[in-house]
Amino acid sequence: MRRREFLVIVGGTIAAAPIHVLAQQATRVARIGIIDNAPVWDHFRQGLRELGYVEGQSIAFEYRVANGKPERLVEVAGDLARLPVDVFVTYGTAAASRAAKSVTATIPIVMISVGDPVRSGLVPSFASPGGNITGLTILSPQETPKRLQLLREMSPSISRVAFLWNPNNASNLAQLEEIQSAAPKIGMQVLAVGARTLDELDSKLTTITKEHADALLMTGDPVHQLHIGMINDFLVKNRVPGMFLVRENVLAGGLMSYGASQPDLFRRGALYVHKILHGTKASELPIEQPTKFDLVINLKTAKALGIAIPPTLLARADEVIE
């Protein structure tokens, strides 16, 4: 073979190699790690589809189950990190985000619907989260006063409100401080009811009736969410109206919820993942607060409680369950 021909062949091979590599990169399937899949994740997957991702072709989901158990979270997070996944996506409690953060300092983590990530020690600030973690919080400063105002509008006689929270959840503490600050401004008193476990929850619920609370406000704490059916049964049995943070609690028999739109948060979470997969660093994406809020009312529960919801309040509801 002549030297000139050899150089042409070698040169052609070298030139073709980058194209081959680029083709592999273009068809590479990005892997997303999800702990404790639930129906609410459908909004996240839909958000990715709207951004052009096709499951099995450009994106894949790796699911692991911890069943809300803190002792399992680090184990399943470590399993996903070893695959490895390209992005962790966590939901709700700071515990899942903390578990993911404990097993990797390099894989990006997108939190969705988390409480207060600063108070929880996940990030140093909303504007500059730094490190490998970012996402969207479910909390907003104006949300707690609004929930109290809606309770008052539903029943002007409500003056003593019980607040069910988990002292082990730093985000819950932030919400307690907010409600303790907002309630006196509209002539309400707050009864703090802290429950860390199911046993505590069972006993502390009776405090609501013993202390003659007119209504109950709840957080989205995962320990309490696991037992939402029991909580709703207690409230209906004792004719105590409940105001919840998430729509799912009203679907499960609660009276009313006002809070950040979960579908909106999950679709925005999909956009965060999209940006990261296209090269944006998690540290460059500020923690976002909710911009869309939903009011949901359950008329069936209202009837069981003997409450007539004012027409003006019903007219403002985003969803009415009959």
From its phi and psi, is residue 235 left (phi > 0), alpha (psi between -120 and 50) or beta?
alpha
Q: Is residue 149 part of a domain?
A: yes
Residues 280 and 228 in one domain: no
Residues 70 and 168 in one domain: no
Handedness of CA 233, 235, 241, 246 (dihedral sign): negative
| CATH number, domain with residue 117 | 3.40.50.2300
Q: Is residue 1 part of a domain?
A: no
Q: Is residue 307 part of a domain?
A: yes
Q: Is residue 154 part of a domain?
A: yes
Q: What is the pLDDT of residues 82-95, one digit of tens each?
A: 999 999 999 876 78
pLDDT, mean of residues 264-281: 97
Residues 123 and 184 in one domain: no
Residues 297 and 164 in one domain: yes
Residues 218 and 228 in one domain: yes
Residues 86 and 96 in one domain: yes
Specify the amino acid at residue 255: L
Contact of 141 with 196, CB cutoff 8 Å = no
Residues 79 and 181 in one domain: no
Q: Is residue 74 part of a domain?
A: yes
Whose CA is closest to 93, among 68, 110, 118?
A: 68
Query: Two tokens at 228?
Result: 């939402």
Query: Two tokens at 19?
Result: 């194209």
Which domain, by its residues, includes 88? 24-138+262-284
- Beta-carbon contacts of 128 under 8 Å, excluding residues fewer than 6 positions away, are 283, 286
Indicate the pLDDT class of residue 27, thresholds 50, 70 and 90: low
Q: Is residue 204 part of a domain?
A: yes
Indicate the pLDDT class of residue 50, thresholds 50, 70 and 90: very high
* Structural domains of the chain, count: 2
**Angle 63-64-70 from CA coordinates, rounded to 5°:** 140
Return the pLDDT at 322.
92
Residues 187 and 303 in one domain: yes
Residues 211 and 317 in one domain: yes
Indicate the pLDDT class of residue 18, thresholds 50, 70 and 90: very low
Residues 123 and 151 in one domain: no
Residues 94 and 168 in one domain: no
Q: Is residue 44 part of a domain?
A: yes
Q: What is the pLDDT of residues 204-262, one digit of tens each?
A: 999 999 999 999 999 888 788 888 999 999 999 999 999 999 898 999 999 999 999 98
Residues 148 and 87 in one domain: no
Residue 55 is classified by DSSP as: B
Q: Is residue 9 part of a domain?
A: no
Contact of 82 with 305, CB cutoff 8 Å = no
- Beta-carbon contacts of 107 under 8 Å, excluding residues fewer than 6 positions away, are 33, 81, 84, 85, 86, 87, 88, 100, 132
